[in-house]
Amino acid sequence: MPRSIYFDYNATTPLDPLVRDAMLPFLGEVWGNPSSLHRIGRQARAELDDARDRAAKFLGAKPSEIIFTSGGTEANNLAIFGTARLLQSKGRHLITSAVEHDAVLQAFDYLEKKEGFLVARLPVDSEGRVAPDDLKRAIRADTVLVSIMAANNEIGTIQPVSELGAVCRERGVVFHSDAVQWFGKEPFANISHFNADLISICAHKFHGPKGAGLLFINSPLMPDPIIFGGAQENERRAGTENLAAIFGLVVAMENFVRPPIFAADFLLHLSEKLRAAVKSVAGCKLVSPQKNCLSNTVSFVVRGADSISLLAGLDLEGICASSGSACSAGSLVPSHVVLALGRKDSANSLVRFSLGRFSSAAEVDFVCSALPAVIRRAQLAGNKASRL
């Protein structure tokens, strides 16, 4: 076996050589500022326009509906802050769910604490899923924005996003979906699939570069900008465009989203072996749903242990895993997703395996064989700590 087994594809994916090659011209000969009026600037502007046209064609959108961002976090922030502030004269009631990524939850927390908005956080069932009927009941006359993710990054739950979007459309409420974990993993035909007015996408989740993403904004919606200093990106996002990252995003979308680079049939076979191994270990409990779940994601909790001990033990075996969101790694803060499932006693022991295109059956077999001993050691450490 190789020394490192990478089972953390939900956190990030390696940059594909095809994508890297597409980016290289924009780190060399095409170096102009797209806002400059001279020949070198106009060359860069033409390339930027081409990238936007290609992204729009791929998504089934208009070029004016594509705003390039620095990634999923910025796309989420622009969607939430920009829309809430734009529409606040019509109402100050917002809705999200209890299991969103922190890039969404913290944005809503800020609007509630600092700007006087009211936020309803929808509960989820035991598998982490939002019920459309709960959304129907939560919408009020003054609700202006709903934000619910397409697929959960920590446990892999796929939300009924199209149904949720239909509820919002029927009630005349703007709907945003963080689809960062969807692209490259689930089937995608065009942007209308989500029934959403705003969609966040992030390149490094499907073998594109870090620092690249986009926000689809359904015309004629125009959220207020959150970054100021220029008229770039249809006056929605100031700052000189990163052409290399943008082309990396576009090429990754064109090559790895349709069909999904995360091949479901292959990954489901590997995931089922991991699920069986987890079930066989005393004290372990799967939290990823059996159905309507990302095919590459297997998450579980461990009684009598904590995530840091578990991940350290796996790392000593050369196994790269996660405790959930990579953006909050390194702390013992209990998983808010596991808490939302009603598992308060085990929320600080989440382990996530997320597989990808380079995962192999041999790697899965090695992890399955190493897992029982890793868990036993973490449980022993937890028992000793509790007696101190």
Is cis: bond before 2, omega within 30 of 0?
A: no
Catalytic residue among 202, 320, 327, 368, which?
327
Under a CB-based contact definition with an 8 Å cutoff, are residues 324 and 335 in contact? Answer: yes
Cβ-based neighbour number of residue 235 at 10 Å: 11
Q: Which tokens belong to 292?
A: 């309507």
User: What sign results for the dihedral spanned by CA atoms 45, 47, 50, 56?
Assistant: negative
CA distance readout (Å), 382 to 260, 263, 299, 367, 376? 40, 37, 20, 22, 10
Q: How far is it, in rounded angstroms, from Cα 112 to Cα 121? A: 12
Nearest-angstrom CA–CA distance, 162 and 373: 42
Quick one: 97 exposed, middle or buried, by C-beta within 10 A (0-12, 13-18, 19+)? buried
327 is catalytic: yes
Q: Which two tokens stand for residue 64?
A: 């004016």
Partners of 322 in the β-ladder: 352
Beta bridge partners of 198: 176, 217
Pairing, β 198-202 against β 351-354: unpaired
Among positive and negative, which fits the CA dihedral 17, 20, 21, 22? positive
Alpha carbon distance 260, 325 (integer Å) = 22
**119/43 Cα distance (integer angstroms):** 45
How long, in residues, is the chain? 388
**Positions marked active-site:** 327
